Amino acid sequence: MITIRLPYRQSPSLELGKARQALPSLAELRAEAPLLLLGALFGLLYLPQPTSIGECLAAVDWHTLKSLAAMLLIVSGIRQSHLLDLLGRRIILQLRTERSLGLALVLFTAGSAAFLTNDIALFVTVPLALCLQGLVANEISGKLIALLAIAANVGSFLTPIGNPQNLFLWHQWGISFGQFVLNMLPAWGICLGILLLWTALAFPQETLKPAALESPAVHWPLGGISLGLLALYILLTEQGLENWALGLALGIYAIWPRVLRRTDWRLLLMVALMFIDLHLAAQLRPIQRLLTSVHPQGIPLFLLGVSLSQLISNVPAAILLGRLSHHWRLIA
């Protein structure tokens, strides 16, 4: 008997199911949307006026990018050590009322955002808020998360390492760390005071039911080395030695490859594309005429910054305004 083996073909439904799994989910597309948008904008700006790749790369502020890369590595190390999770849980276990919980988490978010960027601060405090909501009968998560988002932005603008736009301004004008903080301190104090008052009014003095939070497993060597690296990073970057800061961070975190894997490298690519896109946009004649005719100062510069940050987000707004004006404090 001769057996004839026909090639196996999956049913159309199985093939369709695999195809669907291969396609990115809606959540993944949303996460990649800013990067895809910047890439598409690069294509639109590059095609009408093709320039050399070298010129595009020269438009990138590599000092800012290297400093940001080192900062992202250190923040990734601190986050994965779970030191912040432990600190946050210990603070929460000492609280008794909704108001004290709201004020403590808002202050904790603002403080951590000043040194660990606004995104990382929210990565720690938002899960804590959601975890607490499941452990208490009080309805706290909705208004608390909104206030934490504001606290992260308020806290981050105090220091030059609180967010990427401050990091750019810090390098662009060669400001010392202390000078930057002192210049931002009055506005930061006013904003933080308003936020704390708002938080106190939003949360009543209602007693919280006891919440038993499990203490996270802290990786003490990773956390201690990361905190030491953070202090060293500030000193090296202030002296213009960002190459040393980045090399040191890469060398140390090679011991913990997961820190390298879980660092948000997409943010570096996004910031690089922002520099290139804005450089290409500035070559367009209408934009050139606008840049040469507009020299905003004072209140007009402040209002222009507020408007642009709503339209094109904070980092490209800071880069664009850096071309128009030298008033870095107003831009920040």
3-state secondary structure the chain: CCCCCCCCCCCHHHHHHHHHHHCCCHHHHHHHHHHHHHHHHHHHHHCCCCCCHHHHHHCCCHHHHHHHHHHHHHHHHHHHHCHHHHHHHHHHHCCCEHHHHHHHHHHHHHHHHHHHCHHHHHHHHHHHHHHHHCCCCCCCHHHHHHHHHHHHHHHHCCCCCCCHHHHHHHHHHCCCHHHHHHHHHHHHHHHHHHHHHHHHHHCCCCECCCCCCCCCCCCHHHHHHHHHHHHHHHHHHHCCCHHHHHHHHHHHHCCCHHHHHCCCHHHHHHHHHHHHHHHHHHCCHHHHHHHHHCCCCHHHHHHHHHHHHHHHCHHHHHHHHHHHCCCHHHHC
| Predicted local confidence at residue 255, as pLDDT | 94
| Predicted local confidence at residue 11, as pLDDT | 54
- pLDDT range class, residue 96, cuts 50, 70, 90: confident
| Predicted local confidence at residue 40, as pLDDT | 92
- pLDDT range class, residue 25, cuts 50, 70, 90: low
For the cut 60, the answer to whether the pLDDT of residue 30 exceeds it is yes
18 against 260, higher pLDDT: 260
| Predicted local confidence at residue 222, as pLDDT | 94
CA pair distance 8, 198, nearest whole angstrom? 66
| Across 102-106, 140-144, 328-332, least confident range | 140-144
Average pLDDT score over residue span 161-187: 91
Burial class (CB within 10 angstroms; exposed 0-12, middle 13-18, buried 19+) of 100: middle
- pLDDT range class, residue 293, cuts 50, 70, 90: low
| Predicted local confidence at residue 184, as pLDDT | 95
Average pLDDT score over residue span 74-83: 87
| Predicted local confidence at residue 137, as pLDDT | 65
| Predicted local confidence at residue 15, as pLDDT | 54
Average pLDDT, the chain: 83
| Predicted local confidence at residue 132, as pLDDT | 72
Calculate what percentage of the chain has a pLDDT beyond 70: 85
| Predicted local confidence at residue 150, as pLDDT | 94
| Predicted local confidence at residue 197, as pLDDT | 96
Average pLDDT score over residue span 98-110: 91
- pLDDT range class, residue 28, cuts 50, 70, 90: low
| Predicted local confidence at residue 260, as pLDDT | 93
Q: Which pLDDT tens digit goes with each residue over 205-256?
A: 888 775 566 677 889 999 999 999 988 988 888 788 889 999 999 999 999 9
116 against 111, higher pLDDT: 111
| Predicted local confidence at residue 67, as pLDDT | 87
For the cut 70, the answer to whether the pLDDT of residue 62 exceeds it is yes
- pLDDT range class, residue 127, cuts 50, 70, 90: confident
| Predicted local confidence at residue 261, as pLDDT | 92
For the cut 60, the answer to whether the pLDDT of residue 274 exceeds it is yes
| Across 65-74, 178-187, 270-279, 280-289, least confident range | 280-289
